[in-house]
A = this chain, B = another copy of it.
Amino acid sequence: MTSTRRILITNDDGITAPGLRALVEVARDFGEVTVVAPDKPQSGMGHAITIAEPLRLYSTREVFESAVAYQCSGTPVDCVKLAVDKVFDKEPPDLVLSGINHGSNASINILYSGTLSAAMEAAIEGIQSAGFSLLDYSWDADFTAAKHYVRKIIRRMIERPLPPRVFLNVNIPKGPLSALKGIRVCRQAHAKWEEDFIERVDPNGRKYYWLTGVFTNFDEGEDTDQWALEHGYVSVVPVQFDLTAHHSLSLLAPWNEENTQDA
């Protein structure tokens, strides 16, 4: 065990994203930072891993002042796996921070987000972790207020570690610090994207489709991340990766059976 806290930072917007830089600037005050981030945008990659192709990992030390940095050709989850195995040489970091994402990862977006999947992969590895997102898709987003809250939340994670197999999905409203109302610990809202693919025809007369959609919140609860964000609060959702619908186990118990050639 080293005395200096070792922090891995990644994201899904890629190594050049301003949000990644903002996170590095905050994390540096808490320990020794190593960045292993995708070499290109990987938004929407969810928990994808690269199986059929090899991965590349290049040192790009010059990208950040006083932080070791690598760019990886894979997904955000690949970045975490490769970092733990090769960069940290199987001695996992003390903390994995992912983001700051350009755009919301609240509610159902957690499933599609490479940023949050990286944090989840860290939690699977038994490492304290969190994913941070600012509700501003712009590359020129102002991360000032976000950095204030990210700092506060990292401090709390260090003061009192999260339970095993739990990590955080933190979303921060857009706006100046004075407009933000505080922190709300929440559950994931029940919401979804209503797909609306845009159909076009290429110069060869063949159709192609662009994924678009409208985010629709079905959840009227005031204890959700979506509610918190819409009311100016930073949302903090504790997240787990046991997907079992425990409440349905007893319902399905009659399905248990020995042998079955009677079907």
Contact = CB atoms under 8 A, between A and B. Distances in A.
A22 interface: no
Interface of A: 41, 43-52, 54-57, 75, 77-78, 81-82, 84-86, 108, 110-112, 117, 120, 124-125, 148-149, 151-152, 156, 162-163, 165-166, 177-178, 180-185, 187-188, 190, 192, 195-197, 199-200, 206-211, 236-249, 251-253, 255-261, 263
17 contacts: A44-B52, A46-B48, A54-B210, A84-B195, A85-B197, A108-B241, A110-B243, A124-B192, A165-B190, A166-B245, A182-B259, A183-B257, A185-B253, A185-B255, A238-B251, A239-B244, A240-B244
A50 B211 contact: yes
For the residues of A in contact with B, the DSSP-based class is mixed
Name which of A81, A199, A238 has the most chain B CB atoms within 10 A of its CB.
Answer: A238
B242 A238 contact: no
Contact of A258 (B47, B182, B236): B182
Contacts of A77: 46, 112
A78 B210 CA distance: 11
A43 B112 CA distance: 16
The copy count of this chain in the complex is 2
Given A41-B52, A238-B249, A244 B47 contact: no
A240 B236 contact: no
A236 B82 CA distance: 32
